[in-house]
Structure 1
Amino acid sequence: MLRNAVRWGLLALFADGPKYGYQLRTEFDTRTGGSWAVNVGQIYTTLDRLVRDGYVSSAGDSRDGLAMYEITDQGRTALECWYVTPITKTDRPRSELAIKLAMATADPRVDIAVVVQKQRTESMRQMRDYTDLRRHANDSGDLIWPLFLDHLIFALESEIRWLDHAEAMVLRREQIQPASDLTPAVSEAPLSGQVQR
């Protein structure tokens, strides 16, 4: 089974016929609204793996001499299976944000409130941008783009709620600890890349 979302996404693009590499990149970018950058090198590496796994085969050359690819019966069966297989927790990518906060809470030199506030500000900015795009998405008559934007917006709403929860937990912990046990939040020698207030 393919695990990589880019590989599945590219395989799905073959459903309406043969394509060449740069065409796949353009269509992938269009369908994801440019929110998931994939370079041409990654496209061709992924195509090689799809061919190796028997999901895609060569379809000759285009009129311009570009190598064309098409989905195989095996690839179509795998794609149909992917569509109806729920994404489980173990399939989800690791969250860099969760890892960052986990590491930051163990480091007395890091002010967790600053880390959370910076991320919350950025997440809210992204949510505003996606919400603006969503307002105009209905005008296009396309179903895919509004659904994709809704997914991004709902994910950011969830992330902001989680950040609020994380901040509240940190504040509760600091209120429970005796003052003598608290280490200063920011040392005189800040971590590399740490933002100064």
Structure 2
Amino acid sequence: MTIKHSLLAILAQSPCYGNQLRTEFERRTAHSWPVNVGQIYNTLERLERDGYVSRGAVNEHGHVMWHLTDAGRAESESWFHTPTPRTHARDDLAAKISLAISLPGVDAEALIATELFAAQQRHAESARVHDAEDNSLARLVHLAAVQRANADVQWLLAAQVAATTGASQPSAVDMHRPRRGRPKKAVA
């Protein structure tokens, strides 16, 4: 979820000022994603530059009210109707474990054990918070954390098996100089 689209979605309900948007964002995400007001204003300025929002009048308390433009409303609606991409393009934990298993001299088994313990702790803590939460919105957000922590535990158990059974062997850095430029075209 992006701050940009979240702000557009909130502004689709009513014009707001910056700190009001921050408060609404945190409330609607069950305070699971804290954001500072400076980030809100930076995002609003980019949204204004891109034609998605406009500055309105200053209210009686001196706050600039931000309004959604037609382009902003269309962007917000499009975001809600487009599936959220869930790529594996950047998974810090997977990259760290893959490097540990493939590099000589790194105790991958100890690293995996440490990460597994931490994931199990996150899972247990997330489950406790989820069970104690009264607000249904907060319960839903915390359920996502429980499921992600559980997925991490399951994946780390599989990585532990791969590391202990030698499914992947450490290898030295390839000392051949990489070719620069574009690969040669195949001759037909």
TM-score class normalised by the smaller sequence: 0.7 to 0.9
Out of 144, 151, 155, which is 2:144 matched to? Answer: 151
TM-score (norm 1): 0.76
Distance, in Å, in 1 between the alignment partners of 2:161 and 2:108 is 11
Q: Deviations over 1:40-63 (max 9, x none)?
A: 221111111111111111122122
**Residue 13 of structure 1 aligns with which residue?**
10
**Residue 124 of structure 2 aligns with which residue?**
128
Matches within 5 A, 1:4-83: 5-83=2-80
Q: State how many pairs are aligned.
A: 172
**Is the alpha carbon distance of 1:150 and 1:87 closer, same or farther for their aligned partners in structure 2, counting shifts above 3 Å?**
same
**Is the alpha carbon distance of 1:62 and 1:119 closer, same or farther for their aligned partners in structure 2, counting shifts above 3 Å?**
farther
User: What one-letter code is carried by the residue in structure 1 that aligns with 2:11?
Assistant: F
**Is the alpha carbon distance of 1:88 and 1:66 closer, same or farther for their aligned partners in structure 2, counting shifts above 3 Å?**
same
TM-score (norm 2): 0.79
Give the SS at the match of 2:140: helix
More helix by share: 1
Distance, in Å, in 2 between the alignment partners of 1:5 and 1:156 is 21
**Residue 161 of structure 2 aligns with which residue?**
168
Shift of 1:21: 1.3
User: What one-letter code is carried by the residue in structure 2 that aligns with 1:148?
Assistant: V
Aligned Cα root-mean-square deviation (Å) = 2.5
**Is the alpha carbon distance of 1:30 and 1:119 closer, same or farther for their aligned partners in structure 2, counting shifts above 3 Å?**
farther
Q: Deviations over 1:132-167 (max 9, x none)?
A: 222233x33x3x222211112111111111111111
Out of 102, 106, 130, which is 1:110 matched to? Answer: 106
Runs of 4+ in 1 over 6 A off after TM superposition: none
Query: Which deviates the most, 24-33 or 157-166?
Result: 24-33
Provide structure 2 residue ranges, at least 5 long, that are not aligned to the other structure: 173-188
Give the SS at the match of 1:57: strand
